[in-house]
Amino acid sequence: MSAPSARHRRLHRRPFPPDLAFLSGLHVLRYNSSVIKIAPSILSADFAALGTDIARVEAGGADQLHVDVMDGRFVPNITIGPVVVGAIRKRTRLPLDVHLMIVEPERYIPEFIAAGADMVTVHAEACPHLQRTLAQIRELGAKAGVALNPSTPPSALEFVLDDLDLVLVMSVNPGFGGQAFIPTAHRKIREIKKLLGKRPVDVSVDGGVKVDLAKSLADDGATTLVAGSAVFGAADPAAAVKALRSAATA
């Protein structure tokens, strides 16, 4: 295994929030999962005023940003690439979870990490060599995540449990924002938490997450709530972030 390039090492010299702990400046030791984290999804933001929208959710206390990357092949939509991730990185110090809804993600992982991704989440359905892809992400200094589509069972994670830093439960079929929450995600979250045991792995849920679901998802075991339209579709995105956190911890 080759060491990360100087470019990758430079990426992780910027300050990180106190809930991120690092080993030798690169490999993650743990992520604080004792509190619910709110991750606004920029898919629903105003791309003509992205910097402004990011500043709004930062003011509301967002913990990280969720960045959806779509290729028009794995999902029926096309969004952004490393150039936009790099632009976002210049506007915020919030951790960036880059969610790759693309085929052959291993081809593009180095570019996204070089652009500023702190976490890279790939789909189990798109990775025939999932363990190798997760190892690649970690070797480049980012946290490694796996996303599961609504019809993909938790057992898909069984042989990569020790290679994970986060699991993303899709509570809608990926590809478009603003979809309705699929209720079976509740049971899937509970099953994933049982499968993980005491491993310090973040469990995120993405799709149709709104204030009225926040408490039940937290009770299921979700540690990060990804919300797009519920945040950026609100008149006051900062207040929407606060409302989600308040509901989840009530």
Give yes or no for a contact between 171 and 192, defined as CB atoms under 8 angstroms apart. Answer: no
Q: How far is CA 203 from CA 19, 35, 167, in A?
A: 15, 12, 5
> Does residue 45 lie within any of the structural domains?
yes
pLDDT tens column, 126-178 = 999 999 999 999 999 999 999 999 999 999 999 999 999 999 999 999 887 77
Instruction: Give the chain's mean pLDDT.
Output: 89
pLDDT tens column, 103-125 = 999 999 999 999 999 999 999 99
Cα 119 from Cα 98, distance rounded (Å): 6
As a whole-number percent, the residues of the chain with pLDDT over 90 amount to: 84
> Does residue 148 lie within any of the structural domains?
yes
Count structural domains, the chain.
Answer: 1
> Does residue 164 lie within any of the structural domains?
yes
> Does residue 22 lie within any of the structural domains?
yes
> Does residue 1 lie within any of the structural domains?
no
Calculate mean pLDDT across residues 88-112: 97
Give yes or no for a contact between 120 and 138, defined as CB atoms under 8 angstroms apart. Answer: no
| 150: CATH | 3.20.20.70
The three-state secondary structure class of 243 is: helix
Cα 78 from Cα 102, distance rounded (Å): 10
> Does residue 44 lie within any of the structural domains?
yes
pTM of structure: 0.85
Kindly list the catalytic residues: 68, 206
> Does residue 71 lie within any of the structural domains?
yes
Helix spans in 101-233 (H): 109-115, 130-139, 185-196, 211-220, 229-232
The domain of 92 spans 6-248
The three-state secondary structure class of 159 is: helix
pLDDT tens column, 25-45 = 333 333 334 489 999 999 999
The three-state secondary structure class of 235 is: coil
Give yes or no for a contact between 223 and 33, defined as CB atoms under 8 angstroms apart. Answer: yes
Q: Any residues with CB less than 8 A from the CB of 81 and at least 6 apart, and which?
A: 69, 108, 111
> Does residue 18 lie within any of the structural domains?
yes
Closest CA to 74 of 45, 105, 43, 98: 105
pLDDT at 88 exceeding the cut of 70: yes
